[in-house]
């Protein structure tokens, strides 16, 4: 899941949940803004958010990346970088009742605020995590005394390209596996600074779409279609139609690109983490429209789990994508 460039007047710029049980994986919270919880706000909520990153989010009050209140939450393999909040540049646990947070194999660095994590009445149990370079303090508040225990460190994580948004770490990073960490590296992304691939990471998917000069339209709005057909019938913008959507068994895909198509067309399905699930064979109708189908299976013929996917078409430097949702079939309930 990607939550990008969203705003909220009060809570949860990118995502908001109350009295829920979360099981979120491979998410990117990027440049969202709110008063409380610039990236995400969870209240009275339990569960886990795994292999996810918060970067460039801003809270005008508390919790630049994440605001959690009155719940029990596990944050594992996370990256919090360059978030900003008056209280808790990365995370704030501020409420009238205690909030318990398990932070494991995570990186909390370069966030701006009174301290990296403002615990309020809550508690943070940190394991094998790197908290470093945050204005206002790193291992402070309820993190005090945990540095050096359970594999916790305070060192430059050595991001591949922090300014460019590539939050993987170099192979020489203290957050890599060189410290004998049994459960792998710290942070949301793989180790190493080669070209990021959509097949590898959610951040790779986002960077690849940007490099192609087109947004993946994976924001939380969920708006469908970017079809633009003027009254004269001339197609001026590409469009990608998916039906049915949501679906249970399969979908039909219709693609049209303005002008003559000289380049080969690449049509594929990706999961919410940016991994390629299936490459599809586009078939031309002879009228400039490309059609294909997807049966809801991966490249080796297995039914994919229900959830959110993305259909993306590429022709040269032109890219168009559409969010699709597979819902649970009646026989699997």
- Whether residue 35 is predicted with pLDDT greater than 80 in this model: the reply is yes
Q: Rounded mean pLDDT of 60-89?
A: 93
Confidence of residue 328 (pLDDT cuts 50, 70, 90): low
In 3D space, the residue among 283, 23, 55, 323 whose CA is nearest the CA of residue 165 turns out to be 55
Burial of 84 (0-12, 13-18, 19+ CB in 10 A): buried
Instruction: State which H helix or E strand residue 204 sits in.
Output: helix 202-211
Q: In this predicted structure, what is the pLDDT of residue 261?
A: 55
Question: Tokens 């600074």 appear where?
Answer: 193
Q: In this predicted structure, what is the pLDDT of residue 163?
A: 83
Q: In this predicted structure, what is the pLDDT of residue 223?
A: 34
Q: In this predicted structure, what is the pLDDT of residue 214?
A: 34
- Whether residue 139 is predicted with pLDDT greater than 90 in this model: the reply is yes
* Class for the domain spanning 239-332: mainly beta
| Domain limits, the chain | 2-192, 239-332
Q: Could you tell me how many residues make up the chain?
A: 333
Tokens of 131: 């908290």
E-strand ranges in 133-286 read 159-161, 166-169, 239-243, 251-256, 265-271, 276-280, 283-284
Q: In this predicted structure, what is the pLDDT of residue 63?
A: 94
Question: Tokens 């909220």 appear where?
Answer: 8
With contact defined as beta carbons under 8 Å apart, do 17 and 44 qualify? no
Nearest-angstrom CA–CA distance, 2 and 322: 13
Nearest-angstrom CA–CA distance, 216 and 151: 37
Tokens of 251: 């979908």
Nearest-angstrom CA–CA distance, 308 and 227: 21
Confidence of residue 228 (pLDDT cuts 50, 70, 90): very low
Give the three-class secondary structure for 297.
strand
Mean pLDDT rounded to a whole number for the chain:
80
Task: Tell me the Ramachandran region of residue 220: left when phi exceeds 0, alpha when psi lies from -120 to 50, beta otherwise.
Answer: alpha
Instruction: State which H helix or E strand residue 203 sits in.
Output: helix 202-211
First to last CA, the chain: 24
Q: Rounded mean pLDDT of 45-73?
A: 91
Q: Tell how strand 289-294 and strand 251-256 pair up.
A: antiparallel
Q: Rounded mean pLDDT of 122-130?
A: 91
With contact defined as beta carbons under 8 Å apart, do 79 and 110 qualify? no
- Whether residue 190 is predicted with pLDDT greater than 90 in this model: the reply is no
User: Which position has the higher pLDDT, 39 or 162?
Assistant: 39
Q: In this predicted structure, what is the pLDDT of residue 305?
A: 82
Return the bridge partners of 62, or none: 36, 87
């Amino acid at each position: 899941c990607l939550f990008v460039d969203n705003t909220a007047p009060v809570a949860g710029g990118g995502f908001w949940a109350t009295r829920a049980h979360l099981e979120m994986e491979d998410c990117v919270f990027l440049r969202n803004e709110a008063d409380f919880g610039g990236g995400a706000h969870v209240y009275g909520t339990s569960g886990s958010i795994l292999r996810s990153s918060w970067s460039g989010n801003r809270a005008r009050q508390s919790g630049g990346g994440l605001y959690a209140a009155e719940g029990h939450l596990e944050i594992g393999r996370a990256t919090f970088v360059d978030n900003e909040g008056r209280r808790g540049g990365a995370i704030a646990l501020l409420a009238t009742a205690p909030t318990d947070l398990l932070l494991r194999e995570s990186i909390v660095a370069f966030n701006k605020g009174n301290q990296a994590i403002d615990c309020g009445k809550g508690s943070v149990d940190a394991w094998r995590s790197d908290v470093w370079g945050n204005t206002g303090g790193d291992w402070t508040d309820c993190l005090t005394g945990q540095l050096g225990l359970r594999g916790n460190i305070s060192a430059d994580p050595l991001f591949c390209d922090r300014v460019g948004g590539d939050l993987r770490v170099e192979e020489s990073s203290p957050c890599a596996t060189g410290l004998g960490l049994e459960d792998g590296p710290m942070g949301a992304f793989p180790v190493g600074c080669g070209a990021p691939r959509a097949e590898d990471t959610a951040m790779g998917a986002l960077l690849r779409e940007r490099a192609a000069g087109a947004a993946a339209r994976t924001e939380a709005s969920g708006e469908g279609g970017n079809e633009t057909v003027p009254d004269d019938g001339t197609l001026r913008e590409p469009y990608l139609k998916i039906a049915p959507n949501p679906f249970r068994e399969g979908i039909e895909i219709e693609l049209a690109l303005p002008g003559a198509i000289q380049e080969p067309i690449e049509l594929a399905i990706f999961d919410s983490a940016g991994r390629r699930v299936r490459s599809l064979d586009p078939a031309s109708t002879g009228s400039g429209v490309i059609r294909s189908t997807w049966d809801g299976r991966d490249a080796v013929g297995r039914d994919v789990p229900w959830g959110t996917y993305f259909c993306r078409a590429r022709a040269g430097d032109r890219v168009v994508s559409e969010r699709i949702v597979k819902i649970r079939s009646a026989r699997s309930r």
